[in-house]
Chains A and B, each alone.
Chain A
Amino acid sequence: MRKILIITLSLMLMFSFGVYAQDNLVTSEQIGDNEASIELSWAALPYYSLSNPYEDRENVLKDSALRFAKRNPDVKINPQVLTGDISGQMLKLLQQESAGNIPDVAQIDSFYLPIFKDKLEPLNEFLTEKEINDLVPFAKEGMLDNDGNVKALWFTTDVRMLYYRKDLIDTPPNNWDELIEVAKEVTADNNMEGFLFSAGRGEATTICNLPYFWAQGGKLINENGKPVFNEGENREYMINVFEYIKRLVDSGVTPRRVTNITLEADINGDVIGNNVAMFIGGNWQINQLAENMGREEFNKKWDIAPIPQISSDLEATAVGGWTWGITTEDPDKKAAAMRFLDEMYFGKEGMKEWTKVGGYLPTRNSIYNEYTYYSDNPWMDKIQSIMENGHVRPGYPIYTNLSTEFQVALADVIDGNKTPEEAVDSMWNNVMAEYEEMN
């Protein structure tokens, strides 16, 4: 017994030394020299950090960090790792902020930016006009506050689209009727699901299904932050969305179990298992799926297209992504933090490397043209054109409630316990009760 214990302990020790003794200048604990005069804390999500579960991502970041450390001997960075649960993490950052110990550099979900903007430092001095204009429009708009100051660096973006089995489907459907038609044909010949999408309790459900509403010209919330999705034509658009979902389920094209799909990535299992013909997913899934199915097989079977809308001439999708915010007021620290982010994620070179390894999309337009990985990549062409119709979620406090109510309403329609009209009505009542309570 004692022997086993000793062996276990010594193994543990060996492993821990093995992990720590790699490179002195860059470890997952520290970047730079102990003696450095400027010290920064930097908080990133696990998949964006040096403590990365994925080796290739970690290697890219370690290389960038090493370059940074060599060029900036006066800076030392203390990495912190945020946890994967995004809303929990954003809450924790707010807590840290009010207690005065928010990290100097923090990763913030683009969609939480409105909440954080007045807590972040302006970064205007570090960006040229040209650089700002190079950014995709929604990123540029999202980074600015009401006074036109740059408050964050939007360094990756993502987009939702239709994935379809090109070996089974000749031309991707362009509208709702076509999709149901195509799905029926495919499922008749093959033992698989026609069309999957998120309809569980989670933000993915909202972001994957709202494009149907936006494409029709619908507006969720007006300029004053007041919900308007039930007013005038918006109501009709919203009912159309729910009616479409109901048709999908009633026609057997979509199984009811979509109400247990809470993330785009939950569909991956069906894709890998050859069990689905079409689904709504995010661009990052190309990489995930290609890695796990084999790139060749994936390229042979799958292709992407814009999300089919109510009529063929309409197009819309939802975009998101991640940003960095800097909280330190000290000019030296701020400049150092900016140099660091440029090297790692936001500068052209850093952004290119990072989005490539992570399977994300760059926010700098020039990257798509200047680097062969992007310019010669057939997926990228399509993604870029899909992204042109990208919508960002409205950044008002009531949005999170609206999003939850939308998810609930969708599930009620799929379950059949509410008609589309009833679902919209109860969604509206709940959101408005909340809105009135808030104001």
Chain B
Amino acid sequence: MVRDKLKDYILYLSYAVISMLFLFPLLWTLSISLKEISEIFSYPPKLLPETFKLDNYVQIINNSKILTFIYNSIKISFFTVVGTLAVTIPGAFAFSRFRFKFKKPILFGLLIFQMMSPLIIAIPLYNYFNMIGLLDTHLGIIFVYVAIQIPFTTWLLKGSIDSVPASIDDAARIDGCSNFQLLTRVLIPIILPGISTAIIFNAIQSWAQFIIPFILLDNLNLFPVSLGIYNYQASGEAITIHLTAAASIFATIPTIIMFILLQRFIVSALTAGAVKG
């Protein structure tokens, strides 16, 4: 028992260390975002701002479209996640449970699509989208993101489904489940942790994308926040580090909210599943 308690404390200690390592640069950014410029560059550097000023945030909200950018990012991320899951859940199911020709090469081939630098892909994509009229639209961006996310998500979910013993399938089939029912009623609830990983992954990946929207979007009102923030980081035209910091912190908040909401959703889904089961 004492040993167990000790283990708990060691774990807590490790959490504290990990949190410090990852949090420190962020806290420091937060502190910059609350400082005046002269304070940022003063010596010795101060960990905490002297007076907590929200001016930088006010300026960002008033003088930029950061709220529009964030809304755009939420929209793009949401539809990317939905689109990716709609394609990859059935896909992963098929790869995991069925035998078909060239299964392994196809599965491997999927990864090939991630191997070409998006930096350079964006250029032919620009001409291509221009031809089919998807340039400067969120739809076009979402299509690209979904295409980028599919390979990894398929692999991830296939792994999840693989870990479910085939005996469960058999049991469900005996109960008269069709493939569709097997997937939606039985497998999806079991692989929810895997799906939630996929959701977090897809949402964040599309949140932080930079080069694709940079090339494919022209209209400021369509910019996601990753691109919008970059406008602060311009070519030395002004001292903007305080604004950049504030915008970065501001842009992180929605993802934190999303993460917490998602966590609640998963917990409740799991509990609901447990009650039904």
Q: Which residues of A does B touch, CB under 8 Å?
A: 1, 8, 12, 15-16, 19, 28-29, 43, 45-47, 51-55, 58, 79-81, 83-86, 88, 92, 95-96, 98-101, 204, 263-266, 268-270, 272-275, 282, 284, 288, 292-293, 358
Contact for B235 among A52, A54, A86, A95, CB less than 8 A: A86
Query: Inside 8 A of B43's CB, which chain A residues have their CB?
Result: 273-275
Query: Inside 8 A of A95's CB, which chain B residues have their CB?
Result: 123, 126-127, 215
Contact for A288 among B65, B219, B234, B239, CB less than 8 A: B239
**Do B236 and A204 have beta carbons less than 8 Å apart?**
yes
Query: Inside 8 A of B137's CB, which chain A residues have their CB?
Result: none
Cβ of B61 within 8 Å of any chain A Cβ, yes or no, is: yes
Contact for A273 among B42, B214, B230, CB less than 8 A: B42
Tell me the minimal C-beta distance from A286 to chain B in angstroms.
Answer: 13
**Do B38 and A292 have beta carbons less than 8 Å apart?**
yes
Distance between Cα atoms of A79 and B67 in the complex (Å): 19
Query: Inside 8 A of B239's CB, which chain A residues have their CB?
Result: 265, 268, 288, 292
**Do A47 and B71 have beta carbons less than 8 Å apart?**
no
Give the residue name and chain of the B residue nearest to A289 (CB): B239
Interface SS of chain B: helix
Interface size on B, residues (CB 8 A): 44
**Do A80 and B237 have beta carbons less than 8 Å apart?**
no
Tell me the minimal C-beta distance from A201 to chain B in angstroms.
Answer: 14
User: Which of A12, A43, A79, A265 is the most central at the interface, judged by chain B CB atoms within 10 Å of its CB?
Assistant: A265
Query: Inside 8 A of B68's CB, which chain A residues have their CB?
Result: 16
Query: Inside 8 A of A58's CB, which chain B residues have their CB?
Result: 63
- Binary contact track B63-102/A, C-beta < 8 Å → 1, others 0: 1110110110000000000000000000000000000000
Tell me the minimal C-beta distance from B198 to chain A in angstroms.
Answer: 23
Cβ of B233 within 8 Å of any chain A Cβ, yes or no, is: yes
Q: List 12 A-B contacts (CB under 8 A).
A: A8-B257, A15-B61, A15-B67, A16-B67, A16-B68, A19-B62, A51-B231, A58-B63, A80-B219, A96-B218, A99-B126, A265-B237
Give the residue name and chain of the A residue nearest to B219 (CB): A80
Distance between Cα atoms of A99 and B216 in the complex (Å): 12
Give the residue name and chain of the A residue nearest to B218 (CB): A80
Query: Inside 8 A of A45's CB, which chain B residues have their CB?
Result: 234-235, 237
Q: Which residues of B does A touch, CB under 8 Å?
A: 37-38, 40-43, 59-65, 67-68, 70-71, 123, 126-127, 130, 135, 214-215, 218-221, 227, 230-240, 243, 257, 261, 264
Give the residue name and chain of the B residue nearest to A41 (CB): B218
Interface SS of chain A: helix
Query: Inside 8 A of B220's CB, which chain A residues have their CB?
Result: 28, 51, 79-81
Give the residue name and chain of the B residue nearest to A50 (CB): B220
A16-B67, A53-B240 are known contacts. Are A84 and B41 too (CB-CB below 8 A)? no
Name the 9 nearest CB pairs between A and B, nearest first. Answer: A84-B234, A265-B236, A263-B236, A269-B41, A273-B41, A46-B231, A272-B41, A81-B220, A47-B237
Distance between Cα atoms of A288 and B218 in the complex (Å): 29
**Do A19 and B41 have beta carbons less than 8 Å apart?**
no
A273-B43, A288-B238 are known contacts. Are A84 and B61 too (CB-CB below 8 A)? no
Tell me the minimal C-beta distance from B36 to chain A in angstroms.
Answer: 8
Distance between Cα atoms of A111 and B123 in the complex (Å): 23
Query: Inside 8 A of A263's CB, which chain B residues have their CB?
Result: 235-236
A53-B238, A99-B130 are known contacts. Are A12 and B71 too (CB-CB below 8 A)? yes
Query: Inside 8 A of B218's CB, which chain A residues have their CB?
Result: 43, 80, 96, 101
Give the residue name and chain of the B residue nearest to A203 (CB): B235
Tell me the minimal C-beta distance from A159 to chain B in angstroms.
Answer: 14
Tell me the minimal C-beta distance from A222 to chain B in angstroms.
Answer: 30
Distance between Cα atoms of A358 and B234 in the complex (Å): 14
**Do B67 and A47 have beta carbons less than 8 Å apart?**
no
**Do A84 and B38 have beta carbons less than 8 Å apart?**
no
Query: Inside 8 A of B235's CB, which chain A residues have their CB?
Result: 45, 84-86, 263
**Do A284 and B237 have beta carbons less than 8 Å apart?**
yes
User: Which of B215, B236, B257, B261 is the most central at the interface, judged by chain A CB atoms within 10 Å of its CB?
Assistant: B236
